Chains A and B, each alone.
Chain A
Amino acid sequence: MENYYLGVDVGSVSTNLVLIDDENNILCKKYLRTQGKPIEILKEGLKELKEEIGDVNILGAGSTGSGRYLADLIIGADIVKNEITSHAISSLNFIPDVQTIIEIGGQDSKIIIIRDGIVVDFAMNTVCAAGTGSFLDRQAYRLGIPIEDFGRMALKSNNPVRIAGRCAVFAESDMIHKQQLGHNQEDIVWGLCQALVRNYLNNVGKGKDIKGPVMFQGGVAANMGIKRAFESQLGLEVFIPEYFDVMGAVGVAMLARNEVKKKKFSNFKGLEIADVDYKVRGIECNGCANACEIVEICGDNKILARYGDKCGKWSNIKNENTKLA
């Protein structure tokens, strides 16, 4: 039987799962909306995986994304890795001499600069939404265009209009203004793609030494308009990997495989965990002025973890939970 490795990427917007084999072939991928319920969605993803692939040999698992520690608790990960490293690992596998990785997701974006196969610099977006997918979602909604059609429309534009992209609120009013001036939708959509890319390059990409080959991934990479806008503003060809929306999960699956081969055993609890009933409870601590909001996770009538405290009063219930963020 083939051997497989599971990679899980739990982010605030999407939860992704992939199974890869020893040759980095992807057997199966799941892209689900997190909807603020990471545990439920993760379980659902595991259930879907199980139904789709039946009984296969999963030798190890890894977790990444902002919910990586939570995912670790549920699945029993062999490695827990941040998103930057995970993305870099998988991208290097697809284009070994990649020098720049652009990643844009629903609510966050990052840039990773690589030289000679090593990460030398990176940045993640801060509070601003104007350089992320949610910006496009919102404008698409205002224009009454399904977001799926956005890229196709943008490519049809002949008379580009410039839309101020410094901030999501400005962009919106500027877009409405351009609409009233009678610009057609294709041109406005293309203008929005350009605005997003400009914003990304000025914020996340500020001061970064962007060189080709450039890889573009994350959910927004589905949008061909954005790819074109990057190419026109960077003057470089931009590559989109086949599994652009699950690259973090692929990377951590690769790292998990490496880890399991090194240590010769796995912590992975098996896909059956999808059937365990997990309960999540919020507790407000009144132990001191920090008033921390504690999250408690129970499964099988046991407390699996508590986290969210500043002092360790709650999270130290068991030693194995001390690595919780």
Chain B
Amino acid sequence: MCKIGIPRGMLFYDYYPLWAEFFEELGAKVVVSPKSNKEILNSGVLSCVDECCLPVKVFHGHVDYLKDKVDYIFIPKIISIRKMEYCCPKILGLPDMVKFSIEDLPPIIDTNINLRKNSYTSSKYKKAVYEAGKCVIKNSSKIRNAYKKAEESYQRYLYLLSKGVIPIEAIKMYNKTFVDLNYNSKKHDMSIMVVGHPYNIYDEYLNMNIISKLINKGIKVMTPEMVNKDEIIYYSAQLPKRMFWTYGRRIVGSAFSLIERDEVDGIIYLSSFGCGIDSILIDLIERKAKNKGIPFTLLTLDEQTGEAGIDTRVEAFIDMMKWRDKDDFNISTLR
């Protein structure tokens, strides 16, 4: 059986169900690299060019892990996924960067996905789907059917996200027949939005489990992926200049939406060292949050980030929110 490797990095949390179901429908075996760990990070840092951002380095580590275990590795060249918008240049250059930096790779399936001028129903997109599937089986009707089936699974995944399920969990449960959606609806004292690119907020190794840490403290966690698409479009349109990066628009739009609708008590922006796009997004969101009096903090991740430093900042941030709320630390009571 043909083995297709999917690295657990970059746009994994956006598309994994779609990609995996597609290849499996075609009869391939999908091999996913494990969650990021020290070995993967180290091998990624070693193989990737120095000046790259952290998530791309980690992605290299995932590819390196898979390279001897599979027949193909799927790294699509995702140029644009929405009309008149682009992905970050580093996402677009991902397959080329990997091929340049890592030796002895199996063939890479680097299908071009470019929807800048076309839609998902266009013949160009259909051709891209065929391109991706033909390594497994050269049969266009089978490929078409497999994609349709994969689409259905993917819609279930998106539905879970819209119901407030965190992608890390949704990936485990999208193909279960019974899903208990009530687990996230219990009452919380506080809600925090963890915002940033999906590969920063959902990589539990890179961000030292920040989402579970917050949940364990009884805090409701919201992320951009949970915010309704129309809300994102509506609120990102308030920007004086159009945001032409798809992820930038999602990040800013979702944060603006939660801030304006008063649905969060605080915002933690997770950024990775060396990301140029983030510096603009951070500024936009921080200003909006300050304007509305919502606590905001930035955590920057790099190879050397220490867990103690992240924990201290998160704890201080939560104290700060509680302090406003309840006078928990009222000095007069301290005597």
Contacts and interface: CB of A to CB of B under 8 A. Distances in A.
Interface string A58-75: 000000001000000000
B323 A119 contact: yes
Interface of B: 34, 37-40, 205, 286, 295-297, 300, 302, 304, 307-309, 311-313, 315-316, 319-320, 323-324, 329, 331, 333-335
18 contacts: A66-B312, A84-B312, A84-B316, A84-B319, A85-B329, A89-B331, A117-B331, A118-B323, A119-B320, A120-B324, A121-B296, A124-B312, A126-B300, A258-B334, A290-B38, A310-B37, A310-B205, A325-B311
Interface string A195-233: 000000000000100000000000000000000000000
A92 interface: yes
Contacts of B309: 66, 124
Contacts of B296: 121
A310 B204 CA distance: 10
A22 interface: yes
Contacts of A83: 312, 316
A96 B331 contact: yes
Interface residues of A, number: 35
Contact of B316 (A85, A93, A258): A85
Nearest to A92: B331
B226 to A, nearest CB: 26
A258 B332 CA distance: 10
A124 B307 CA distance: 14
A83 B309 CA distance: 11
A82 B319 contact: yes
Nearest to B315: A82
A93 B331 contact: yes
A23 B335 CA distance: 7
Interface of A: 22-24, 66, 81-85, 88-89, 92-93, 96, 117-122, 124, 126-127, 207, 254-255, 257-258, 288-292, 310, 325
Given A122-B320, A258-B333, 17 more contacts: A22-B335, A85-B319, A88-B329, A93-B331, A118-B323, A118-B324, A119-B316, A119-B319, A119-B323, A124-B313, A127-B304, A207-B286, A255-B329, A258-B334, A289-B38, A290-B39, A291-B38
A89 B334 contact: yes
B219 to A, nearest CB: 16
A285 B311 CA distance: 23
A66 to B, nearest CB: 5
A127 B302 contact: yes
Contact of A289 (B37, B316, B319, B333): B37
B214 to A, nearest CB: 15
Nearest to B204: A310
A92 B333 CA distance: 13
Contacts of B205: 290, 310
Nearest to B312: A82
A325 B38 contact: no
Contacts of A292: 38
Nearest to A125: B309
A291 B320 contact: no
Contacts of B307: 325
Max chain A CB contacts within 10 Å: which of B39, B302, B312, B323?
Answer: B312
A289 B39 contact: yes
Nearest to B293: A120
Contacts of B329: 85, 88-89, 255
A93 B316 CA distance: 18
A85 B295 CA distance: 15
A45 to B, nearest CB: 20
A255 B302 CA distance: 33
Contacts of B331: 89, 92-93, 96, 117
Contacts of A325: 307-308, 311
Nearest to B320: A119
A120 B320 contact: yes
A248 to B, nearest CB: 11
Contacts of A93: 331, 334
A120 B319 CA distance: 10
A96 B295 CA distance: 22
Nearest to B314: A82
Nearest to A93: B331
Contacts of B320: 84-85, 118-120, 122
A111 B286 CA distance: 17
B304 to A, nearest CB: 7
A113 to B, nearest CB: 10
Contacts of A85: 315-316, 319-320, 329
A120 B295 contact: yes
Contacts of A120: 295, 320, 324
